[in-house]
Amino acid sequence: MTVQKKERHVLGLSGGRDSAALAIYMRHHHPELDIDYFFTDTGEELPEVYSYLLDLEARLGKPIVRLNPDRGFKFLLKKHNNFLPSPQARWCTIMLKLKPFEAWVKEMLDAGEKVYSYVAIRSDEEYRAGYISKDDNLVVKLPFKEDGIDKAGVMDLLNNAGLGLPKYYEWRSRSGCTFCFFQQKIEWLRLKERHPEAFKEAMGYEKLAVDGGSPFTWSQGESLAELCEPARVEQIKADHEKRIERLRSKVQENPLRDNDVLDINDLYGQSKVCLTCHK
């Protein structure tokens, strides 16, 4: 006689728009599933992320499990000779996000459970990366892809639930670490305006890296100090405005969909996103 494995359902929240919408979607469309929602805290997140998670928790009527890495960013940076993480050397995602998740899920798998992990890849996105399961008992599910939920659909879900967008959408459209290197230059400038202490801290990490011989800065081709020079600030802002104008002139208005938001990915390209941290 085959013994049926116990099933577990887990859904990772990044503090971002799409994963929050997926949690709401699953709660409404699959109330029969007892889903464990989790958030992997790097310890370097925006305060807006924490308050959004609290709002979401209230709407889900269930606590969100907080997973923490063994070692924080500062320890790991030291271990990497103060070289900053970058799109080519993304040790931060592995150590701060993926490892704590793997350790948490391993306990379930070791207990003989089959785990379904729900990931918020929308129907209008390509699924190029993300968490690839190495264990047959860890199954990755993409409900938005399967059910044709695109960005406007995500906005509908968030608005209808009364949750809306995370507060940081006023100035940045990504969750994740305050100093994430996937940030665009305009987002760095806004981080400086909104969270000067976090910006100062990022400058400190960068100085350590450069003084220690690292060729890489947080933002490609220039240090944060250079990025803050008044003439450079004007240039970055002007470039950003031009991108918005260019995109607006191309986008066809859809009277049935008045909730499409232009975000950084639309303006600068989808490739500059980390599916683990920014969903």
Which CB sits closer to ligand SF4, 25 or 218?
A: 218
User: What span, in angstroms and rounded, lies between the C-alpha atoms of 74 and 109?
Assistant: 31
176, 202, 240, 279: residue in contact with ligand SF4 (rule CB under 6 A): 176
| Local structure of residue 219 (DSSP, 8 states) | B
Count residues binding ligand SF4 (CB under 6 A): 13
Three-state SS at 263: coil
We find the least distance from the C-beta atom of residue 41 to ligand SF4, in angstroms, to be: 11
Sheet (strand 7-13) strand order: 65-67, 35-40, 7-13, 114-118, 138-141
Kindly state whether residue 93 participates in binding ligand SF4, applying the rule CB under 6 A.
yes
Tokens found for residue 265: 């990915």
Kindly state whether residue 92 participates in binding ligand SF4, applying the rule CB under 6 A.
yes
Kindly state whether residue 96 participates in binding ligand SF4, applying the rule CB under 6 A.
yes
Residues 195-254 that bind ligand SF4 (CB under 6 A): none
Which CB sits closer to ligand SF4, 25 or 73?
A: 73
- The structure tokens 């100090």 sit at 225
User: Phi and psi for 91 in degrees, rounded to 5?
Assistant: -65, -25
| Dihedral (Cα; 5, 62, 70, 93), 10-degree rounding | 90
Region binding ligand SF4 by CB under 6 A among candidate stretches 51-59, 89-97, 194-202, 263-271? 89-97
Residues 69-88 that bind ligand SF4 (CB under 6 A): 85
Kindly state whether residue 67 participates in binding ligand SF4, applying the rule CB under 6 A.
no
Kindly state whether residue 274 participates in binding ligand SF4, applying the rule CB under 6 A.
yes
Residue 84, CA distances (Å) to 98, 121, 145, 226, 232 in order: 18, 28, 34, 17, 23
* Interacting residues with ligand SF4 (CB under 6 A): 42, 85, 90, 92-93, 96-97, 176-177, 180, 182, 274, 277
